[in-house]
Amino acid sequence: IRSRYTRLHIPSDFYHASYAWHQSIPLDHPLKFITPCSFHIFNKNVPRLFDDNVSIIDPPDADYTWNVRIMLMSTPDIQTLISRSCLINNENGKSATINPDDLEHPTKLIKFLVGVRHQNEYFPIGGPWSKSLDGANPESDPQVLRRTAIRCVQAQTGMDLSKCIQW
């Protein structure tokens, strides 16, 4: 992982990653860009709207056996994505795009929210499971890890994911 993601912080106690994204986005139901979603990142000098509660971010009973990482994706609407990344011919057979040199690769238009430590150390949003804050039995109850994700994302970004309907 370190060789592929050189600027991503890999904890020293890391030993296994379980990738389940392919279960939430199966090949027979591709990801749809129906609703645009964007983030506004404030400068670090702007006063925060909420206080850092260390007991929520790093609880005393934090168990790193279960650790949640969240990928928050920002996308333009599908029409913007197509118009900014594809040459489209109109009825006259001419390109609807003004200048082909202004086209952007789709990976430049789809963004993920990550945290930044120091200057160039990026880390995924998330954190460890806490029995007292999130509940017991994360191995058998997926709601426990969802509560962990909601707690960590809210503590680190101020975003409330409790209304998310699909995980």
SS (H, E, C) the chain: CCCCCCCECCCCCCCCCCCCHHHHCCCCCCCCCCCCECCCCCCCCCCCCCCCCHHHHCCCCEEEEEEEEECEEEECCHHHHHHHHCCCECCCCCECCCCHHHCCCHHHHCEEECEEECCCEEECEEEEEEHHHHCCCCCCCHHHHHHHHHHHHHHHHCCCCCCCCCC
Which are the contacts of 17, defined by CB distance < 8 A and separation ≥ 6?
1
Instruction: State mean pLDDT over 27-42.
Output: 77
Counting residues of the chain whose pLDDT is more than 90, the rounded percentage is 22
Phi, psi of 74, rounded to the nearest 5 degrees: -110, 125
Cβ-contact 51, 59 below 8 angstroms: no
- Note the pLDDT tens digit of each residue in 104-149: 888 888 888 888 877 778 888 999 999 999 999 999 999 999 999 9
Return the half-sphere exposure (C-beta side, CA atoms, 13 A cut-off) of residue 90: 7
Cβ-contact 88, 97 below 8 angstroms: yes
- Of the candidates 160, 158, 10, 48, which has an alpha carbon nearest to the alpha carbon of residue 147? 160
CB-neighbour burial class of residue 148 (10 A; exposed 0-12, middle 13-18, buried 19+)? buried
Instruction: State mean pLDDT over 16-35.
Output: 72
Instruction: State mean pLDDT over 5-25.
Output: 74
Instruction: State mean pLDDT over 58-86.
Output: 87
- Tokens 């990976």 sit at which residue? 107
Q: How high is the pLDDT of residue 22?
A: 67
